A = this chain, B = another copy of it.
Amino acid sequence: LAIVCLALSIALGSTTAGVQTEIESVRKNKNLITEEQSGPLMADVARRAGVAISTVSRALADPGRVNEKTRARITAAAEDLGYTPNAAARNLRVGKSDVVMIVLPGALHGASQIIPQVLQSINRTLGHYGYHLMIANLDRDEPSERHILDLAYGGSVCGAIIFSSEPPADGNRSLADTALPIVSLLLDLSGATIPSVVTNDRQAIKEATRHLIELGHSSFLYIAGPTGNYHDVERYAGVLEAIQQAGLSEQAIVRTGGVLGYQYGFQTGVEAADDFAALSVKPTAVIASSDDMAISFMSRVQRMGWSIPGTLSIVSFDGSPVSEYCNPPLSTIVQPVEDMGKAAVDLLMAYIDRSDNRTGERIVKPSRLILRESISVPRSDH
């Protein structure tokens, strides 16, 4: 006990002998075993300001409802003691926490490049609202999913953002079935009544494809992300629409990739390069569903002797920062990740505040094609 108070008085710096006894007296009847470091309590602040605990609570939470003079005394006392309210106690009392969790996919696929940006944007926006961010890594195994669900069902979090993955579930519980406010980011789950913030995958890649067609390309290699994945479905559909509207048939596209379970997209790009090499008749343009794939594909294909964009044009999806510094600089569809992160938080906050029942709202933040040197007119040797 002496050590605790000594430390405190040192921290407080100066004439704090009075404080020491005050705190000590409050602590007298505490269980001596549990007693460790925990900081000053609201009771300590109250004592120092010469008011009741409840008044301190009010002064701190709702400064309007307390006399200006006493409020000043109280905040001063709190400041002096370095008081910080105990979050667990508050959460327990009000039945709600101030943390939101983000569920990240275990395998990053193409997403690895943009995760730091998304996290930063989300966390910053949450901070603005006074909330904190908890990470839940979604390895698709039982203990990991249970861990996540415990957070939701145990009241540790008051909302969740699901990043590019399906809602986790174990035997009898599922994130989707909770009353917990949820927003899906990147994946469109609005059909399952989960509000979603997405980009226009299909439209954006359709326009990129149309651009290639206008340049004269008529045969394509499409490098797919994990088959069946929402993004894969949407993006391939976009390519197909452009092809068909140009009067070409689906035969104009060679599909490769599609393997599930790679940690990064790079491996897919490497294999796609081999697939390309094995083709008897080579497409003149490549559409990759992530920058990672495009980057490793380019690297391997250049090493095999093809030149980009001389004999092969390439465009991909993500807009990762590194794409600008590839060789050649990569044409890519830039996702507005910061916008999307912010929008997801705003949407989630709206659901939390109004405690609305969930609707299948959907917000679309358009992506935009950036043309760089990886694209040109097709080679003529074919």
Contacts and interface: CB of A to CB of B under 8 A. Distances in A.
Interface of A: 7, 11, 34, 36-39, 79, 82, 84-89, 91-92, 95, 97, 99, 104, 106, 108, 112, 115-116, 119-120, 123-124, 127, 132-137, 139, 143-144, 147, 149-151, 153-156, 172-173, 177, 179, 264, 266, 269, 292, 295-296, 298-300, 302, 321-322, 324-327, 329, 355
A313 to B, nearest CB: 16
26 contacts: A11-B177, A36-B95, A36-B179, A38-B155, A82-B172, A82-B173, A85-B154, A87-B150, A88-B91, A88-B97, A99-B156, A106-B120, A108-B116, A112-B116, A115-B116, A119-B135, A120-B137, A124-B139, A127-B137, A132-B135, A266-B325, A269-B325, A295-B322, A299-B324, A299-B326, A326-B327
Contact of A133 (B37, B91, B115, B135): B135
A329 B119 CA distance: 29
A153 to B, nearest CB: 4
Contact of A324 (B85, B266, B324): B266
A350 B181 CA distance: 36
B155 A86 contact: yes
A144 B126 CA distance: 11
4 shortest A-B CB distances, which residue pairs? Answer: A84-B153, A37-B179, A88-B91, A327-B327
Contact of A89 (B79, B92, B119): B92
Contact of A143 (B127, B299, B326): B127
B299 A329 contact: yes
A156 B89 CA distance: 10
Contacts of A149: 84
Contacts of A137: 119-120, 123-124, 127
A88 B79 contact: no
A132 B151 contact: yes
B135 A156 contact: no
Nearest to A102: B135
Given A116-B108, A123-B137, A154 B299 contact: no
A131 B302 CA distance: 46
Name the residue in A143, A264, A299 with the highest tally of chain B Cβ atoms < 10 Å from its Cβ: A299
Given A36-B95, A322-B322, A127 B150 contact: no
A321 B112 contact: yes
A104 B106 CA distance: 20
Contacts of A144: 127
Contact of A88 (B88, B116, B139): B88
A120 B120 CA distance: 16
B266 A322 contact: yes
Nearest to A147: B127
A294 to B, nearest CB: 10
Contacts of A39: 153
B172 A84 contact: no
A314 to B, nearest CB: 13
A82 B153 contact: yes
A112 B114 CA distance: 9
A155 B177 CA distance: 30
A258 to B, nearest CB: 20
B127 A87 contact: no
Nearest to A115: B116
A61 B136 CA distance: 23
Contacts of A133: 134-135
A38 B300 CA distance: 54
